[in-house]
Structure 1
């Protein structure tokens, strides 16, 4: 199968230059792959352009931020281990360019600061906040509640209420029940989230039935994407309309992820499309980016877009039901972008689920973390 467009030629040249082979069977692995050693920090002009457009940064500011975010990503796990049971969450502070680690015990602070992170003393541990959120997850929310999440910066579980519905009796009643589960605060959001499937690879389009979605990341044997795009057993057609593969597993709601196996004639590559905005990105691992870092998304409708990680472990209340353990971003998206790639540097982060707004007026988007998908189906990320 050949795609006779410049984009595929660019991908092929990129792969040949990197000395990459075709996909092969690999051992199942649910663990995130580590961020690589500093790769001379060769930031493409297109990526800097996208960060100027979407984050309002100058070239110098974008370059410095990417370097600082890479450093924060490298020390987050060590800082979490140093905090142990006193860990209260962490986030990247764009103003200082440093990772901030919340702790419930000030005695843990010196060891964490020695790693290169700042600390903040808080009342509740991350484990306590997660338990409170789990209790909240057992409740059924009305449509006026957009979702809820653990927020390390406020050291609470934040319930997001649609602004126009905040005084509705059902919403007020839910908030009262939520407050009884633990340390809860309430915030408002402009609109309810929705999924981004469109009727009619990462980032390339595929089709199932009359729905167009986007490929997330190549894994050995196929790719991962959003669960709301298709059910197990559904046939998948590629960008050219030819038979491409089959949904082997899918979960939505509750989760929003799926695994598609591909047929002979198709192959997997560790690449996320830059759509001409930036050079196509090689995927080298899946180290998780902290809250506060910049992140970009590739999708078949709005192509390459960037923003910031706003929160993790969020529950999103779609009309079809709640989805748990999502990551929230300020990146915009539109119909057809569902399932597409979220990537930070060269590290895979997750697949696009849904959100509110669009890329003309702005909005927010959630993704399902990729490491959870790999673990669920016993998959191995295809990396360069």
Structure 2
């Protein structure tokens, strides 16, 4: 009986030691993933994306089929021949041989666009799988799905069909900080044309002439919508600030809890890139870019040229900013799902909106040290912030000051000695350090078990010695 008890104790001790080893490995792997310098370094993703786009442009649409950011942070390029693959690898990027060229994928999307419109559907290019993915929400009937499937079959294997939960809707209503008779939205980015200052937000938020307020009572007027594109080739609009509005911190977007991120430029995202979105309903959320040049058939009409992501959003988040490393990337348009169950959210690319509207991101020369917000920005084109009730959405409230470029800081004060690396990594670490939890729990549990086993074994030895000395006098 005693030998059996010893065997059980030995087994338990070995199991606890094994738990310590496994927990240590879990923590080390989590730390390695969080401290990997290259993929997370501010600017590294942009450089990788630029390299991928440059290779695609150089090799052409017949020999390539898109680019994306790989799991290791390197650019990946889909290629159709071995010579192109060799060129890509020599440049330091990864190459994947595929069957369909970009020209074929674009031809597929053109066929889909010319087919009868079905509300509740979308399509985008899945570069990694070399397909155009067509999705239909629950509002699409069986007959409509059948007709769309026949169109896809006529195109060939370059098209993949998927059904999704929920419905595709624009994310209007239900939140602050912008209120109007048409509904409520989130402000996006502050922009300027050199003569006046504007809020860049979603086009579906309201038609031209819509008057916006920062409070539900309609006493604090913000401005009026002057330019709108929706539906059609985009989902963006300009809200011109009222004359005489003078605010600070025009280059900051709020992310909730009194925090803000300073935006210093605009760019196009890359597939596979991690991005953040701020909205006045759900605050700061993160996800990944899964597709570009997406088309969505909303109930109000079709919108083309959007960014497809895994970031969640809910009603009221429309118009809110999407960004990464202090770079403006998109404006929240719509999607399906919510932030409890996840879903797909589409964004209007900022670069196209800026170019089409003839505006540029507003800069704060004092906070940026004279640095321009974009290559075409001028120091005297400072815009104005938005009077947000809950601090989530676009610019900081009146009097708010900006923080380090791309960094997280208080909208009331500028962090001392903040750097790009420190500030931009802070947002990412909010979610990533939770990866350490499971490993630490395993280590703690194993230590407790090991101590308990050791105490029990020591008690057993003492009891045995006492019994032995008594039996032998």
Q: Considering the TM-score relative to the shorter chain, is it more than 0.5?
A: yes
Find the aligned partners of 1:239 and 1:166 in 2 and give their Cα distance.
37
**Stretch deviating more after TM superposition (364-373 or 279-288):** 279-288
Aligned partners of 1:185, 1:380: CA distance in 2, in Å?
A: 38
8 Å contact from structure 1 (residues 126, 152) kept in 2: no
Confirm or deny that 1:269 pairs with 2:250: yes
1:334 aligns to what SS in structure 2?
coil
Paired with 1:193 and 1:259, the residues of 2 have a C-alpha distance of: 24
Partner residue in 1 for 2:160: 185
SS in 2 for 1:198: coil
Work out which of the two has the higher radius of gyration on C-alpha atoms and give 1 or 2.
Answer: 2
| 2:325 maps to 1:345 | yes
Compare 340-349 and 61-70 and name the one that shifted more.
Answer: 61-70
Specify the alignment match of 1:260 in structure 2: 239
Residues 134-149 of structure 1: pairs in structure 2 closer than 5 A: 134-143=110-119, 145-149=120-124
Question: Could you say which residue in structure 1 is the equivalent of 2:225?
Answer: 247
* 1:203-214 equivalent positions in 2, closer than 5 A: 205-209=177-181, 211-214=183-186
Partners of 2:362 and 2:104 lie apart in 1 by: 35
- The 8 Å contact of residues 198 and 336 in structure 1, kept in 2 or not, is answered as yes
The 2-side partners of 1:103 and 1:344 are apart by 28
C-alpha separation in 2, matches of 1:169 and 1:336: 33
> Quick one: distance in 2 between partners of 1:167 and 1:89?
32
Q: Once the 2 structures are TM-superposed, how far is the Cα of residue 232 of structure 1 from its aligned partner?
A: 1.2
User: 371-380 vs 61-70, which deviates more?
Assistant: 61-70
Structure with the larger helix share: 2
- Within 2, Cα distance between the matches of 1:58 and 1:246? 48
Tell which deviates more after alignment, 117-126 or 223-232.
117-126
Distance 2:106 2:280 in 1: 34
CA offset digits 1:304-362 (Å, max 9, x no partner) = 11011111111112122221111111111111100000002111111001111111222
Residue matched to 1:45 = none
The alpha-carbon deviation at position 60 of structure 1 amounts to: 4.8
Q: Which moved more, 1:213-222 or 1:240-249?
A: 240-249
- Is contact 1:244-1:266 (8 Å) kept? no
Q: TM-score, normalised by structure 1?
A: 0.77
Q: Alignment partner for residue 77 of structure 1, among 53, 56, 60?
A: 53
TM-score relative to the length of structure 2: 0.63
Q: What is the CA distance between 1:107 and its match in structure 2?
A: 1.6
Aligned-partner Cα distance in 2 for 1:58–1:344: 22
The alignment status of 1:378 with 2:358, answered yes or no, reads: yes
Are the equivalent residues in 2 in contact too, given 1:146–1:192 (CA < 8 A)? no
**More off after superposition, 240-249 vs 371-380:** 240-249
1:222 aligns with 2:198: yes
Taking a change above 3 Å as real, the CA distance of residues 150 and 233 of structure 1, as seen in their structure-2 partners, is: same
For 1:230 and 1:224, how far apart are their aligned partners in 2? Answer: 12
Counterparts of 1:102-117 in structure 2 under 5 Å? 102-117=78-93
**How does 1:47-62 map onto structure 2 within 5 Å?**
58=30, 60-62=32-34
CA distance in 2: counterparts of 1:62 and 1:317, whole angstroms:
38
Higher strand proportion: 1
1:121 is aligned, of 69, 79, 97, to 97
Match in the other structure for 2:169: 194
Structure 1 position 305 matched with structure 2 position 301? no
Distance of 1:120 and 1:82 partners within structure 2: 16
* Aligned with residue 65 of structure 2, among 83, 88, 103: 88
Identify if the C-alpha distance between structure 1 residues 210 and 186 changes in structure 2 by more than 3 Å, giving closer, same or farther: closer
Alpha-carbon contact 1:73-1:287 (below 8 Å) kept: no
Whole-angstrom distance in 1 between the partners of 2:354 and 2:263: 15
Distance 1:318 1:62, change over 3 A: farther
Could you tell me which runs of 5 or more consecutive residues in structure 1 were left unpaired when the two chains were aligned: 1-56
Structure 2 counterpart of 1:169, from 128, 143, 155: 143
Please say if residues 66 and 294 of structure 1, whose CA atoms lie closer than 8 Å, have aligned partners that are also in contact.
no
Label 1:80 to 1:329 Cα distance change in 2 as closer, same or farther (>3 A). same
8 A Cα contact 2:331 2:349, kept in partner: yes
Alpha-carbon RMSD across the aligned residues, in angstroms, is 2.4
**Contact 2:293/2:306, CA 8 A, preserved across alignment:** yes
Q: 1:155 to 1:340 in 2, by over 3 A?
A: same
- Show structure 2 runs of 5+ residues with no match: 1-28, 364-372, 374-473
Structure 1 residues 335 and 84, CA gap change in structure 2 (3 angstroms): same
For 1:309-348, what aligned pairs fall within 5 Å after superposition?
Answer: 309-348=289-328
